[in-house]
Amino acid sequence: DPAHIALFPHQNEFRNTLSLSGMWQFKKDSMEVGEKEGWQNGLTATRSIAVPGSWNEQFTDSRDYLGMVWYQKETYVPSSWKGQRIFIRLGSATYAAKLWINGKPVGQHEGGNLPFAFDISSAVNWGAPNRITVQLENMLKPSRVPTGNVPGSPFTNYPKSNYDFFPFAGLHRDVWLYSVPAVTVIKDITVKTTFTGTTGSVEISVLTEGKASRGTILITGNGKKYEAPIRFTGNAATTTLSIPDVRLWSPEDPYLYQVDVNIGDTKTTLDHYTLETGVRTISANDKQLLLNGKPIFLKGFGKHEDFPIFGRGTANPVIVKDYSLMKWVGANSFRTSHYPYDEEYMRLADREGFLVIDEIPAVGLYFHGDTTDLAARQAMCKQYINELITRDKNHPSVIMWCVANEPFPKEVTLAGSSADRSATPKSIDLFKELFALVKQKDNTRLATLVGAMGGPLEWVGLGDVMCINRYYGWYSHAGDMAGAARILGLEADALHKRYNKPIIYTEFGADTYPGMHADDPEMFTEEFQANFLKMYLDFAQSRDYITGMHVWAFSDFKTGQGIIRFGGMNYKGVFTRDRKPKAAAHYLRSRWTK
């Protein structure tokens, strides 16, 4: 039930948490015999592995291994939790996971980068250790999202992912045990904000399980308190609070109000949850993005969750450092390319005032070939949209949902030329379905799809804002910046004229080997990268319908092996993989902090 992931585990007077991050026991199962042999009843001959973390860079013998593995950890459940409902929550298990508690199956989940939780109350041992077992694999398949092992794919890298970033595998985020009240519990909270003049308006909807009849909403902030009672009809209640002289949320002043939800019966409070909200609106006209009704230009990056040895595993110091560096260069925005990021990333975006394009893991989608696979990918995209919006809907930082990055029609090549640039009617219908689902789940934000160079413009035109990735001067017009600038302008003017919607360049960049230099800028040198970015940013300034520029990429990142990825790396970062600035970072800082 994806509703279980709506509220992040929370420690307060009604709820408890216990982090299971740390060392776990690990064992490969390349013959896939584990379940038959009963490994869920206890693993033998294990080695230690860190959680969170990808397994690929922790061991010397497992970089390209994506097959079946097992994780195990033992823990006591605190006796003070007795009588409560107990859940296990995995922040991200890439890709297909199956769980047992004390040998008892408790659930399974497909899809990385998003959390899932299972009620394990009936499987827990009291006053004794509990064995937690996770079976996991990340096999690349055409039926999965993101896709891999696709027949006829333009990608030639190994492992055979349909995208360039390394398909890291493992328990990538924190694992929590948590407890909530056994009978009456807050299941979900949805906060929607707007304002008129100087008065803010915060609509709060609460969903419960059990028998709450009433409750209170308390908003605290800017030295004031606002309180409203709520009454439940069945398990739902909604109220709207007014905040006079509201302090709006924005990158310049990312002010957060605290929202306390209490529910109960006529006599007592039975559950309590606290979250933060920022009062703001987001919209678009034909040329610009509007934050709180005023035009805003996005300056920032496409990123990855990627760091040496951690792989795609959460590394909290890296999250903090990345925001610090993004502020240092004067960025105000980023895209969670090409999958949802750790929830700590999202909370920090709220606090630090970043505008986020929040993307599902739909990269490398395609529409030819096996129709059963196509249907499976579409179902997976819908699952991701459901899970992502359930997880991230209360973050003021999130301004836009992105349903795909660089889907391609048959025969598009990486250089952006395509034998068949047209979008089939079927593919347009499928994307329309995804956009409709996004709007049905959240009508307060914008929706987009990121189009590839050479890809069908009909797909891009479906978004509220048109997001495109362009590499003129790199994959085409290599080294020829004047030629690149010409085609960039011609193409953008035609695209805006055709759909009359604002454009964001969600990617543009050049591979740059740190320390490589040239007097007259030449590909792969630091001077070329700075010059390349300058051309694109100058161009953006010359068009009033361009409303954001995201450099590809924030930092260098690991890829699979292939001839266009020297040393198994994408070097388009303006920071190195370990976050040292290249000349381009200093250039952006000089331009963006003015």
Nearest-approach distance from CB 402 to ligand GCB, in angstroms:
11
Compute the distance between CA of residue 363 and CA of residue 11 in angstroms, rounded to an integer: 36
Nearest-approach distance from CB 322 to ligand GCB, in angstroms:
17
Report the residue number, 164 or 188, with the smaller CB distance to ligand GCB. 164
Nearest-approach distance from CB 204 to ligand GCB, in angstroms:
37
The gap from C-alpha 213 to its chain's centroid, in whole angstroms, comes to 36
Compute the distance between CA of residue 422 and CA of residue 543 in angstroms, rounded to an integer: 27
Residue entry with tokens 């996005």: 298
Q: From the CB of residue 586, how many other CB atoms can be counted at a distance below 10 Å?
A: 15
203 is catalytic: no
Is residue 245 classed exposed, middle or buried when 0-12, 13-18 and 19+ CB atoms within 10 A define those classes?
exposed
Is 549 in contact with 571 (CB distance < 8 Å)?
Answer: no
Compute the distance between CA of residue 553 and CA of residue 555 in angstroms, rounded to an integer: 5
The radius of gyration of the chain from alpha carbons, rounded to an integer in Å, stands at 24
Report the residue number, 25 or 506, with the smaller CB distance to ligand GCB. 506
Structure-block tokens of residue 297:
């230009």
Structure-block tokens of residue 239:
């109220």
Q: How far apart are the first and last CA of the chain?
A: 48
Strand order in the sheet with 96-101: 47-51, 22-28, 69-75, 130-137, 96-101, 104-110
Compute the distance between CA of residue 362 and CA of residue 377 in angstroms, rounded to an integer: 9
Structure-block tokens of residue 81:
């939790």
Report the residue number, 174 or 306, with the smaller CB distance to ligand GCB. 306
| Beta strand 175-180 pairing with 85-90 | antiparallel
458 is catalytic: no
Compute the distance between CA of residue 538 and CA of residue 587 in angstroms, rounded to an integer: 13
Catalytic entry in 276, 507, 526, 527: 507
Report the residue number, 299 or 572, with the smaller CB distance to ligand GCB. 572
List interacting residues with ligand GCB (CB under 6 A): 163-164, 338, 405-406, 452, 469, 507, 552, 570, 572
Residue whose Cβ sits closest to ligand GCB: 469
78 DSSP 8-state letter = P
Nearest-approach distance from CB 304 to ligand GCB, in angstroms:
8
Nearest-approach distance from CB 450 to ligand GCB, in angstroms:
7
Report the residue number, 195 or 505, with the smaller CB distance to ligand GCB. 505
Nearest-approach distance from CB 64 to ligand GCB, in angstroms:
19
Nearest-approach distance from CB 470 to ligand GCB, in angstroms:
9
Report the residue number, 338 or 391, with the smaller CB distance to ligand GCB. 338
The closest alpha carbon to 235, from 261, 262, 217, 214, belongs to 214
Nearest-approach distance from CB 118 to ligand GCB, in angstroms:
32
Report the residue number, 501 or 550, with the smaller CB distance to ligand GCB. 550
Residue entry with tokens 């009672």: 229
Catalytic entry in 305, 343, 406, 458: 406
Report the residue number, 107 or 154, with the smaller CB distance to ligand GCB. 154
Q: 578 in helix, strand or coil?
A: coil
Compute the distance between CA of residue 522 and CA of residue 37 in angstroms, rounded to an integer: 58
Active site residues: 406, 507
